[in-house]
Amino acid sequence: MNRRHFLQWSLAMGLTSQVRAADLPDGLDDADKVLKQATANGQVKSATLHVRRKGNAVTRAYGNGTSPDSMFLLGSISKPICVTALMRLYDQNEFRLDDKLSKYLPKFTSNGRESVTLRHVLTHTSGLPDQLANNAELRRSHAELDKFVEYAQQAPLSFKPGSDYQYSSMGILLATHVAELLTGKDILSLVDDTVFQPLKMEHSAQGLGRFSLDDMVLAQTEFAAPESGSGDPTAKNWDWNSHYWRKLGAPWGTTHCSAPDVAKFLSEYLFLNGTVLKPETAKLVRTNQNPAGIKPRGIGFDIGSRLGGDGCSEETFGHTGSTGTLAWADPTTETIFVVLTSLPGRAVTPHPRQLASAAIATK
């Protein structure tokens, strides 16, 4: 066995290469134990873990056939990745955060919609719903993203824009559609061109990209959210594991990445590298945009200590995914944590992702 093959094997087996034991991030052993146990007892079929602190990083893989470069369906971690493609245009002065959405979507008017700004949809304060009322119907018919955009523009608002918080996948959809309109490119190619390639995220795709369905880790759909088709015996051709959904590239949930690639993405914001966004823009994106009394949110990012667990600072930013994923970065400790699992987030409480995160956050 040559050295390259040995390193690949050792990583896949959950060992650490090129990092001395004394340099490993604190809490790694506890997080490792959580994921080993969860995969050994069959609760989680596949998982990968990536932790970086103060320059020391390690990636571990769990479950049969899983490697450090395995690509998982990220769920809502897709949101900040796709929003980053939009914010590239902010850096180019193509739009302002307080622009009315109707400036770019002329049909998005009446019944309060004319007051919705890009900042509102990016911080979940627009009043738009998370999923459309006809979500299942659209997926069942294998609708393209433009159909979701059409119906999202007609969706009723739950409150006056800016006055409250309501998590909204459809808000993110409309925000990223603005990027499509401004560039003339679809969100799949736009994310690849402006995020994945500059950050050298080689095991990442919006939709399937150059990969095939066989390259992706399957989700344990029996525990999935209802909007993904769980509980519907006829949903096999549109659920999380279907070729339709994996290829669609929905900006609210169909990004595929390996754990190290998600860490590369977070590094851009943690260290303000300027590779994708200007440092001042990256800092803006990871900073709370909502007024007092409304749940704190960055631009596409969730923020705050509760994201990672006790021990994280209020500057922590990242996101969870309903597919069983969690990723965050804490500027105060220069920690990056990424755990990707095949077990949907709603399947069990506490979820192994939370337990693994808490082990790192509290150290």
Q: Mean pLDDT, consecutive 10-residue segments, the chain of 363 residues?
A: 36 43 77 97 97 92 96 98 98 98 96 97 98 96 98 98 98 98 98 98 98 97 79 86 97 98 98 98 98 97 95 97 97 96 95 97 79
pLDDT at 363: 63
Ranges of each domain in the chain? 72-361
pLDDT at 20: 53
Distance separating alpha carbons of residues 329 and 283, to the nearest angstrom: 13
pLDDT at 143: 98
Question: What is the DSSP pairing of strand 72-73 with strand 56-62?
Answer: unpaired
Evaluate whether 352 touches 42 at the Cβ level (below 8 Å): no
pLDDT at 6: 34
Evaluate whether 191 touches 206 at the Cβ level (below 8 Å): yes
Print burial letters for 137-163: b (CB count within 10 Å at least 16), e (below 16): ebbbeebebeebbebbbebebeeebbe
Task: Quote the pTM value.
Answer: 0.93
Q: Which CATH code, of 3.40.640.10, 3.30.2290.10, 3.10.450.40, 3.40.710.10, is assigned to 72-361?
A: 3.40.710.10
pLDDT at 15: 39
